[in-house]
Amino acid sequence: MTRQDSGLVRRPVRVAVVGAGSTYTPELVEGFVRRADQLDVSELVLYDVAPDRLRIVGGLAQRILDRQGFAGRLTLTGDLSAAVDGAAAVLVQLRVGGQETRLVDETLPNKFGLIGQETTGPGGFAKALRTIPVVLGIAEEVRRRAEPDAWIVDFTNPVGIMTRALLDEGHRAIGLCNVAIGFQRRLAAVFGVEPDRVRLGHAGLNHLSWIRSVEVDGVDRLPELLSGTQADALSDQTGVPAELMRVLGAIPSYYLHYFYCTDHELESQLAGEHRALRVLDMERELLAMYEDPALDHKPALLEQRGGAYYSEAAAALVTSLLTGDGAHHYVDMRNEGTIDGLPAEAVVEVPANVDLDGPQAVPVAPLAPEMLGLVQAVTAYEVLTIQAARTGSRDLALRALLANPLVGQWDLAVEVLDALLEANAAHLPQFAQGTRG
């Protein structure tokens, strides 16, 4: 590649989206349109295995692009090889089994007195088992058909596990979650500044992270957030008590309330409060809206879907990877010494400056003991989960559940594993032979 005088690479690129039938896709399309002056997407390819969803979502995508005067081409395809052929970046945002499997992930564990959630606990474990082989298969096709130095950007949950599985197989991959950018945008609004003036001391694992500083123009404003009137608002956003945040000296990811407030969350779930039910209804409503030929922008309802700022985060990250602008992002990447106490090969979620060579982590302070202990346990769980997903080993699956802090007991691990394997049998052929060892 040749660099222009500005130091940035600007060339026409082909970008593919795998799982483009997602209702998130219009958000992503708008993100690329907004960056047309920075990233020259000559062709945006939307791929999905569900033709009806692809037709509906792709139709809205085309209307959005037409309204914005997009100069490139939009291609819809159900052929993976054709989708990734010659791509410079491939975004993966799929859900094996659709929203129906998510409902199982969130409800089945409750029968055993365990937290149900699609990325954390036994539900997240089931999702990882279903998804890892599929994503690795897609990545092999990317290796064969895409540009030699193409990037795989994973937005598929559990992002940390998926990213590690990809990196372990030698793929050029990076993980992306919208938790950090969501906090950045909300806190920028609190202080009345542009988001780029806010830097977060965000560190941990995907969906298991803490914000330990909030620098606005270089000054840490976190202490006043935790002690002032914003503490209650942050409590509402994270699901944990304001006093807990004060004791930690940090703003935890929303997903940490499953660990810090387990019994309270389980009580709510047993009362029938499952986000999967709301998302199912919302998906149907969104797809019905997308079919309206007069709709040429993302509807406001999409922001309630849970992917706020996804378009900004994803389009900005792809721009950095393909132009080398060195911008600041929050990504999932190899640890390689960034967080003390974790192996180099672990995948962590940290701030990084991103250029053509990928992410260069911004140094972070060591995690406090209570944070590090939890991160170490979940890292061990992730390693075992990847091994179980790839081999279909029941013994490895049991060891993974024993390592998971939201399971951890032998009897529960055996019972919930049997139930998860039965409920997901159609998506877990690797376990069909009941392999041990």
Q: Helix 25-34 crosses helix 310-323 at what angle (to 10 degrees)?
A: 50
Distance CA 52, CA 283 (A): 14
Q: Any catalytic annotation for residue 255?
A: yes
- Residues 77, 45: contact at Cβ < 8 Å? yes
- Residues 374, 342: contact at Cβ < 8 Å? no
Token pair of 378, please? 């979940």
The single residue of 24, 47, 254, 255 carrying the catalytic annotation is 255
Classify residue 77 by its DSSP letter.
Answer: E
Token pair of 284, please? 């149907």
Which residue has tokens 């969350």? 265
Nearest one of 274, 184, 196, 190 to 232, comparing CA atoms: 190
- Residues 209, 179: contact at Cβ < 8 Å? yes
Residue 210's SS3 state is strand
Using CA atoms in the order 209, 339, 195, 222, what is the torsion angle rounded to 10 degrees? 70
* β-strand pairing of 13-18 with 327-334: unpaired
Report the catalytic residues: 255
